[in-house]
Amino acid sequence: MDHRGGQSCKGHWQAKPIQQGCCWVRHWAYSLIIPVTVVIATRNEAANLKRCLDSLTEFERVIVVDSHSTDRTCEIADEGGAEVVQFVRTASYPKKRQWALENLSIATPWVLLLDADEVVPLKLKDEIREVCTADESHDGYLIRKGFHFLGRRFRFGGFSHQAVLLFRQGKAKFEHVLDDDPSGMDMEVHERLIVDGTVGQLHTPLIHEDFKGLTAYIQKHNQYSDWEAAIRCRFMQTGHWGRETIRPNLFGNIQERRRFLKQILVHLPLEHWIWFLTHYFVFLGCLEGRPGLIACRLRSQYIADVKAKMYEMNRDS
């Protein structure tokens, strides 16, 4: 199965029928299936993927969109009953998730986007089932990514954030930000979904916990900082974040408010210290002990790296 730049792997999707019992048992079992296609973007996520897939057994379909992983990612996805599609980036846009939305045949009325290091807890699963089977629902839903770091669930620090992850099929698309992405990443970094319709909010957070270790975390954010520096340089030069982007709005949803605040912060000197002080003292990251201090320092360093790369980009131009 070819999909304009992608190929199917040996993985496959199977429905979840009940082989034994009478008709009412089968009907009851099918009524528990959540009418959602889950799309998981991966590359070398063997350390995380099984936990993610184990939490998705009640969803109607699970697709892993992979970038030719060299570890056991595809095998784990196949063993977990997910369909695996290989992605090859051939243009600046769309990246992996947007490509999947445009090119994969998705028959369910709802789509849920996850990372491989995210787990859907039972209460969130119940919330998703409720909104996806209700007579009236919003067109997209914000879900909080509950931050776990160095083996600890963070209650403080302000690192957990909300993003639109659940939406009606055909009602959302990713921002088109950069045509020339210096990060080299084929997956969306911090691009957000633009929803054609109303946006609601679910209450139970995802469990967002990466088991690949601190070295991988730092390397990944170094690539993220390439992307962040490029879009900030564009904003400083043009006043725009990209071709199609979230509209900054202080009184809008959380994505719009964050974008509004971001366009103020980028102009401030010593921004990395603002981030550290905010996470560590204002949002009480200090109460998370040594992991809290490390997380706050890494966030501050990320912004400092962005600023340094912006300086280099402006100098070279």
Question: What's the rounded Cα separation, in Å, for the pair 45 and 57?
Answer: 19
Q: How far is CA 33 from the centre of its chain?
A: 23
Rg (CA), the chain: 20
Q: Tokens 């809290």 label which residue?
A: 292
Q: Which residues of the chain have pLDDT under 70?
A: 1-31
Q: Do residues 253 and 179 both lie within one domain?
A: no
Looking at residue 10, its pLDDT comes to 39
Q: Do residues 131 and 159 both lie within one domain?
A: yes
Looking at residue 91, its pLDDT comes to 81
Question: What's the rounded Cα separation, in Å, for the pair 33 and 118?
Answer: 20
pLDDT tens digits, residue range 131-190? 999 999 999 999 999 999 999 999 999 999 999 999 999 999 999 998 888 888 899 989
Identify whether 69 is part of a domain: yes
Question: What's the rounded Cα separation, in Å, for the pair 223 and 245?
Answer: 21
pLDDT tens digits, residue range 111-133? 999 999 999 999 999 999 999 99
Angle, helices 214-238 vs 289-316, to 10°: value is 40
Bridge partners of residue 145, in order along the sequence: 161, 206
Give the end of a domain, one of 162, 193, 210.
Answer: 210
Looking at residue 184, its pLDDT comes to 85
Identify whether 1 is part of a domain: no
Q: Do residues 157 and 197 both lie within one domain?
A: yes
Domain of residue 179, residue span: 6-210
Identify whether 168 is part of a domain: yes
